[in-house]
Amino acid sequence: MNQFRRYLSVVENPFLLTTLFAVLGWCFTRLIDKVSMVPVLEFSVKHPTGSDANTFRYTFRNISHSESFDNLKLLIVSKSDSIKKYDLQIPPPNFIDKNNDSIALDRINHSFFFRLTKLNPKSEFNLILITTGKNPVPVRISSDGSIRITQSNLITFLIKNEFVILGALIIIWLGLIILYISAK
């Protein structure tokens, strides 16, 4: 801490530090804006071990701040009759339209089809599949509009936590300014 205070006392003004944090914040928000131009649907697949080894939990999240997905369709095709059971969980605030939202399991073509009329911003749904195999079944997704589908990664983490990260940058910047003032 004393080395940091000595360093701050050598620096004549905090403009360099302020400029550094401003550029860092600008670059971060620019990155998030560019990535979020197309609505993003994040998905993850959880596969428990042990007695539930044949259970796969697919979680789909609309991580866009203002865009909703209309007429979202999922198609799951297995190589054989591997889908034993399925469960679809759609928590609020999503609206379930009993007339238009549909679920169909086609045993002849070994496929599962699901259609959701609308997926609101910042909402999610879960698809739980119990299969005969140990590997996850591929899922194909389409929507009426443009859609970017990605697994959970650093970019989706940054999009989901944009305001928290910017707030942390501001708090760090304010803390450094206070240290700079107290060192003078």
Give residue-wise pLDDT tens across range 14-37. Answer: 667 777 778 888 888 888 888 777
- Measured CA to CA, the distance from residue 177 to residue 12 in angstroms comes to 13
pLDDT tens digits, one per residue of 127-162: 888 877 777 777 778 787 777 888 888 888 888 888
Burial zone of 158 (CB within 10 Å; 0-12 exposed, 13-18 middle, 19+ buried):
middle
Residue 43's nearest CA partner among 120, 160, 150 is 150
Q: Which residues contact 114 (CB under 8 A, 6 or more apart)?
A: 73, 74, 88, 102, 103, 104, 127
- Measured CA to CA, the distance from residue 9 to residue 28 in angstroms comes to 29
Any idea which of 59-63, 108-112, 140-144 has the lowest mean pLDDT? 108-112
Range 55-78 average pLDDT: 83
Range 37-45 average pLDDT: 84
Please say if the pLDDT value at position 104 is more than 70.
no
Q: Selecting from 2.60.40.1170, 2.30.110.10, 1.10.10.10, 2.40.10.10, what CATH number does the domain 40-146 have?
A: 2.60.40.1170
Please say if the pLDDT value at position 50 is more than 60.
yes
pLDDT of residue 11: 53
CB 114 within 8 A of CB 69: no
Range 4-13 average pLDDT: 55
75 or 42: whose pLDDT is higher?
A: 42
pLDDT of residue 10: 45
Mean pLDDT of the chain: 77
> CA 159 → CA 9, 23, 32, 124, 154, distances in Å?
37, 18, 6, 15, 9
Give the pLDDT band of residue 81 (cuts 50, 70, 90). Answer: low
- Measured CA to CA, the distance from residue 42 to residue 158 in angstroms comes to 12
Give the pLDDT band of residue 8 (cuts 50, 70, 90). Answer: low
Backbone angles phi, psi at 111, to 5 degrees: -135, 160
Looking at the whole model, is its pTM more than 0.75? no
pLDDT of residue 29: 85
